[in-house]
Amino acid sequence: MTDQTISASYGQWIGSLRSVSTFAGDYILRFAITGIVLMEGIKKFPNLEAGAAGFRVPVELWTLAAIGEVVGPLALLVGGLMRNQIGDFITRFGGFLIAIIVAAVLLQVYWGPWILMRFHVLMMCVGLFFLLRGNPSRTHAA
């Protein structure tokens, strides 16, 4: 084997590894945030009125938040499977919904001591990550 052949083989191997690790890393983050936010949204539906009253927000706003907590995470998963402009838009939309809803929760419920806010700040940052980055392009993944 020549040095050029070894170099080309190594380059192909690294490219394949980057592609797999980008996809896996992307989906680890998507599954984690989906599990957390989706669970919170689903929990709201059995009794929307009581939940809204408990947090002193209008039931319409509470319902919109519950819908967003279901649609946003599902958009991250579906958008990630579609490696085109529509999938990129769906991913960014899901990130937007998650970031906005978690920011509202921070302001309404947890504003104050950092110990109470840190988990929600992390979730908001993950939402912002997907809003700003979208799906990784094929040129960057390979």
| pLDDT tens readout for residues 84-128 | 999 999 999 999 999 999 999 888 887 777 677 888 888 999 999
Query: Would you place residue 140 in the very low, low, confident or very high pLDDT band (cuts 50, 70, 90)?
Result: very low
> How far, in Å, are 17, 63, 102, 121 from residue 113 at the CA level?
42, 27, 16, 12
Residue 98: per-residue pLDDT: 96
Residue in this structure with the two tokens 């980057």, named with its chain if needed: 18
Report pTM. Answer: 0.77
Distance of CA 18 to the CA centre of its chain: 21
- Burial label for 60, CB within 10 Å (0-12, 13-18, 19+), is exposed
Return the number of other C-beta atoms located less than 10 Å from residue 92's C-beta. 19
Q: Helices 3-44 & 114-133, crossing angle to 10 degrees?
A: 120
Residues 69-90 have pLDDT tens digits of: 999 999 999 999 998 999 999 9
Q: Which two tokens stand for residue 113?
A: 């001591």
Alpha-carbon distance of 63 to 68, in angstroms, equals 9
Percent of the chain with pLDDT over 90: 53
Examine the pLDDT at 36 and tell me if it is beyond 50.
yes
More confidently predicted of 128 and 18:
128
Q: 27-31, 87-91, 107-111, 133-137: which has the highest mean pLDDT?
A: 87-91
Q: Please, what is the average pLDDT of the chain?
A: 85
Distance of CA 94 to the CA centre of its chain: 7
